[in-house]
Structure 1
Amino acid sequence: MRLEGEYAGTIDRIVEGIAVFLIEDDDQTLDERHIPVEDLSLNVSEGDRFRLEFDDGELIEISPRPEETADRRKRFRERFERLSRRLGDEDADRR
């Protein structure tokens, strides 16, 4: 897919020094790009959010979005805690 303009991106995973970015638009994954971590000149980890800008399919700029990363991690943590409590309730009911 030839990307043009600005998109949101999330590091899905880092494998052998390669960051795998999921390129997203309106909560839909459009593409994925593999970028060597050493080329990013940033301290990155899985789940980090970025703004990615493309020109004729070429990635020309990448900017971290720390606020989005923190917000997303908070929402996932809260969801996990809710699910954990529910599972704990189910285990207590079985006793």
Structure 2
Amino acid sequence: MIPDGRYVAVVDRIEDGIAAVIPEADGVGEELLVDPEALPEPARHADAVLDIVVADGELREATYDAEETERRKEGAQSRFDRLSKRPPKDEEDAEE
């Protein structure tokens, strides 16, 4: 069970009418399984960043952090773009 408290969390997935929300806290390796209706409407998608409150092992509050969600999305896209580029050819290797 996830300890009571306030966490930053990410929506991992929504499948079969269940949302898996993962708190980003050291030592918390569990996910909260909740009805997607318990999440703010704009946060009902994978990778949405939330500020949540957990009490008695249940989600009590969830606030969507649109700015952080967008920042992380842009960061991931930037990393993907860098990794997808071919490295420049080394002219010395080409001559051998």
Classify the TM-score, shorter chain.
0.7 to 0.9
2 CA distance for matches of 1:56 and 1:29? Answer: 15
Letter in 1 for 2:38: D
Give the TM-score of the pair, scaled to structure 1. Answer: 0.78
After TM superposition, the structure 1 = structure 2 runs for residues 70-89 of structure 1, keeping only pairs within 5 Å, are 70-85=70-85, 88-89=86-87
Matches within 5 A, 1:8-87: 8-25=8-25, 29-43=28-42, 44-85=44-85
Identity in percent: 33
Larger Rg over CA atoms: 2
Quote how far apart the aligned CAs of 1:80 are.
Answer: 0.2
Relative to structure 1, the CA distance from residue 53 to residue 22 in structure 2 (aligned partners, 3 Å threshold; closer, same or farther) is same
CA RMSD of aligned residues (A): 2.1
Shift of 1:84: 0.3
Gaps of 5+ in 2: 91-96
Over residues 15-41 of structure 1, what are the superposed CA-to-partner deviations in whole Å (9 max), with x where a residue is unaligned? 112111111115x65320111213335
CA displacement at 1:10 relative to structure 2: 0.3
Give the structure with the higher percent strand. Answer: 1
Inter-partner Cα distance in structure 1 for 2:2 and 2:21: 15
TM-score for both structures, normalised by structure 2: 0.78
Instruction: List alignment gaps of at least 5 residues for structure 1.
Output: none
What SS does the aligned partner of 1:31 have?
coil
